[in-house]
Structure 1
Amino acid sequence: MAGRFRYLAILPALALATASTGAGSDAQREEPFAEAPIALLVDMSSGQVLFSRDADRRFMPASITKVMTLFLAFELIAEGKLSPGQSFAMSEQAYRDWHGKGSRMFLDLGEVVTVETLLLGIANVSANDGAAVLAEGAAGSVEDWVAMMNAKAREIGMNDSHFGTPNGWMDEGRTFTTAHDLALLAREMIARHPRLYRFYVGREGLDYRGIAQANHDPIRGRVAGADGIKTGFTNQAGFGFLGSAERDGRRLVLVAAATASSRERRDVSVAMMEWGFDAFDSRSLYQRGAYVGDAQVQEGARRTVPLVAAAPINATFPHGSTSEPTLTIRYEGPLRAPLEAGEQVAELEIATEGAPPSRVPLVTGQAVAQANGWQRLLNGLAGLFR
């Protein structure tokens, strides 16, 4: 979030050993995690990039596309526009398009299935047929669902992504994304819908209609704290993975794309995640809801609003470091009243020497009503003596 900023503190800076900058050990400089031509590892609690290779390069996500379908469904559930208990039927069109095609739940023509079951199938066995049935049922058509996916992508800032299907099936390159955009999608899904994420994502698999299928997540059961998120594969895209793991309140998200085999995808994903936890420490800066600073307010019943942490905020350091980051609040302002409590209006920038600054959201700690005539007069007089 560019624009006016309020400066909080200068503290001794620290050079992160981020492989994308060329810093770190000799082993890091020898192309770490080389099995993944596209790779990104981010500490979600600090927003800091721990490793990056071609993270802005566009690629075909294949079934990782289904994460956007899941996120959109979670958003609709939160808004009361979709219910896990709703049921949708496999239409003739969906049956023609997806019966016997790729990974699936083996849905039959006319079969009625709940949204909850569809989401479990999409998340854990990559059900192409389930994604199509959900799209038709929730939006009226696959085309309308895809339009909603793209609108949601723009809303959360996925500026280098476009979706042509709800499931990532090959579409001559109309569906594309970047590692940065996928990490952003993972952050928004987990931060906005932690309960739904925990319920639907990262299960062992799905047993539906007497057909048991396993989840092919490459880090689940291999990395402590791993809880998802989604694999992808087509001959055009290669093998990809958007994954996450949490240990002691610290969550890492990784993207590995365009690997040559499922084995390479597994090996590089496990190695990258373990390295992220082992090579870096995390220190708490603010707990969820903690006061961070103030922002100026224009035309409000009060002239400032407290800014608080939207989620626990940490800083990430190479293991054993005792240095501290530089913290800056940034926001476009002054903010204009009225403001609701919990509204995201600013970001805390965490700057460390030798690595790009990271930013995490800050929200309003209380509501600010629009000023009445008397309050506007007092604010105007106070402004004269600033």
Structure 2
Amino acid sequence: MRNLVTSMGAALLLAATPSAAQPRTAETAPAIPSSDDAPIAYLIDATSGQVLFSRDPDRRFMPASITKTMTAFLAFEWMEEGRLFPQQVYTVRPETFRKWNRVGSTMFLPQDARVTVDDLLHGVTTISANDGAVVLAEGAAGSLGDWLAAMNAKAQEIGMADSYFGTPNGWMDEGHTFVTAHDLALLGRTMIARHPSKYRHFFGAEGFEYNGIAQRNHDPITGVVRGADGIKSGFTNQAGYGFLGSAQRNGQRLIMVVAGSPTGKARNKASRELMEWGFAAFESEPLVGRGKIVGTARVQDGASRAVGLQALGPVRVAIPNGRKQAVSLTIAYEGPLQAPIAKGEEIAELVISIDGMPESRVPLVAESDVAEANPLQRIANGILGWFS
């Protein structure tokens, strides 16, 4: 970004201390998953975006059913925009039934069935319904092609620069659909930050029953790792075994990706090990409270010459266990910003720098609306500009 605001005061000094109740030794501390179990592995802190562990995060791979996370996220976005509603009802098209009836994971949608968006999304997120994903896509967008175009546009919008979706469900398409661990973690982080209530409603269930058929979730960490609540596993013969997962403990949320595992057992083991290692190796400290203004950005040609900046929610920072670390904070934005600015519009980033760790960034939004300046305000802004 062109305009980098100077550091927000002195650097913070945070210290993480091991739990006194259960001190860990080298023998009891969780292990990092091996490269044999997880050739691709990636772990981030959800609110700060800090990278806690990284193994081949930019290597492209086929996501299989993890693709359905993008379908769910797009549905959440359209719900927020008023384009999609949970109680909308879609009819299974005859051609869709012929192509997807009992193909791979399914919610066994009958021919000509009328099914709600809420049921379709639960089928997609909980039992990985291939048929449900296609019926949702066709019903919401009018055609599969239009839904895929919207998926890819949304992926680019949130910064998934090295991913492409050729299906709404991740079924084998000769590698046309691909992602990276970095992009999947970004997707999980963005989805949970923007839609926390929808995430809680649609993800993390142990099972789902539709049309009298009960099926269980194959998520390898929910119900096994304390605090785990999703997100999506995947497997095809072409893709192998992978998982995008998340868990929260004591206000700290971690998001992880493992991919390329040779077996389901190896994938499950690696997923649990990586998440447990993350919570054991790092302590979470509060950095920015909910609703707190963390700084301001200059505004040009606006009714106000500056606008307050807020994070979307509370921000915590992960500190290596038992170490004191200096945390440096700066605000970056392309500026001066041009009015008008809408409240809640993403206009800047909080840049977090910790010694020995990669830099991370947290999106910042406008705390209030800033209208375009009227003629008198333009004159006053011009005069004030001479003295600032």
Q: Aligned ranges for residues 301-316 of structure 1 at < 5 Å?
A: 301-316=303-318
CA contact (8 A) 1:15 1:352 kept: no
CA contact (8 A) 1:349 1:357 kept: yes
TM-score normalised by L of structure 1: 0.93
Residue number among 161, 164, 168 corresponding to 2:170 in the alignment: 168
SS in 1 for 2:326: coil
Q: Aligned ranges for residues 173-184 of structure 1 at < 5 Å?
A: 173-184=175-186
Distance, in Å, in 2 between the alignment partners of 1:338 and 1:217 is 44
- 2:90 equivalent in structure 1: 88
Could you list the runs of 5+ residues in structure 1 that have no partner in the other structure? 17-24
CA contact (8 A) 2:32 2:273 kept: no
Q: Are 2:386 and 1:384 equivalent residues in the alignment?
A: yes
Deviation string, structure 1 residues 33-88 (Cα, Å, up to 9, x no partner): 32111111000121100001111111000000000111111111111111111111
- 2:4 equivalent in structure 1: 5
Distance, in Å, in 2 between the alignment partners of 1:249 and 1:27 is 24
SS in 2 for 1:9: coil
CA contact (8 A) 1:14 1:354 kept: no
- 2:342 equivalent in structure 1: 340
- 2:291 equivalent in structure 1: 289
Distance, in Å, in 1 between the alignment partners of 2:15 and 2:358 is 10
- 1:195 equivalent in structure 2: 197
Distance, in Å, in 1 between the alignment partners of 2:297 and 2:339 is 12
The structural deviation recorded for 1:13 is 7.6
- 1:131 equivalent in structure 2: 133
Q: Which amino acid aligns with 1:355?
A: M
Indicate how the Cα distance of structure 1 residues 215 and 26 shifts in structure 2: closer, same or farther if over 3 A, else same: closer
Residue number among 40, 43, 64 corresponding to 2:42 in the alignment: 40
- 1:50 equivalent in structure 2: 52
Distance, in Å, in 1 between the alignment partners of 2:105 and 2:208 is 12
Residue number among 266, 273, 276 corresponding to 1:274 in the alignment: 276
The structural deviation recorded for 1:27 is 12
TM-score normalised by L of structure 2: 0.93
- 2:358 equivalent in structure 1: 356
Q: Which amino acid aligns with 1:44?
A: A
Dislocated runs of 4+, deviation >4 Å: 12-16, 25-28
The structural deviation recorded for 1:12 is 6.7
Distance, in Å, in 1 between the alignment partners of 2:137 and 2:308 is 41
Q: Which amino acid aligns with 2:67?
A: T
CA contact (8 A) 2:341 2:370 kept: yes
The structural deviation recorded for 1:187 is 1.3
Q: Which amino acid aligns with 1:361?
A: P
Deviation string, structure 1 residues 124-182 (Cα, Å, up to 9, x no partner): 00000111111111111212211111111111111111111110000011100111111
The structural deviation recorded for 1:348 is 0.5
The structural deviation recorded for 1:324 is 2.6
Worse-matched range after superposition: 234-243 or 376-385:
376-385
Question: How many residue pairs are counted as aligned between the two chains?
Answer: 376
Indicate how the Cα distance of structure 1 residues 160 and 220 shifts in structure 2: closer, same or farther if over 3 A, else same: same
- 1:19 equivalent in structure 2: none
Q: Which amino acid aligns with 1:9?
A: G
The structural deviation recorded for 1:303 is 1.2
CA contact (8 A) 2:344 2:368 kept: yes
Percent identical pairs in the alignment equals 57
Indicate how the Cα distance of structure 1 residues 14 and 33 shifts in structure 2: closer, same or farther if over 3 A, else same: farther
Worse-matched range after superposition: 364-373 or 60-69:
364-373
Could you list the runs of 5+ residues in structure 2 that have no partner in the other structure? 17-25
CA contact (8 A) 1:105 1:127 kept: yes
Q: Are 2:331 and 1:325 equivalent residues in the alignment?
A: no
Q: Which amino acid aligns with 1:372?
A: N
Q: Which amino acid aligns with 1:176?
A: F
CA contact (8 A) 1:331 1:346 kept: yes
SS in 1 for 2:78: helix
Distance, in Å, in 2 between the alignment partners of 1:321 and 1:11 is 16
Distance, in Å, in 1 between the alignment partners of 2:324 and 2:174 is 50
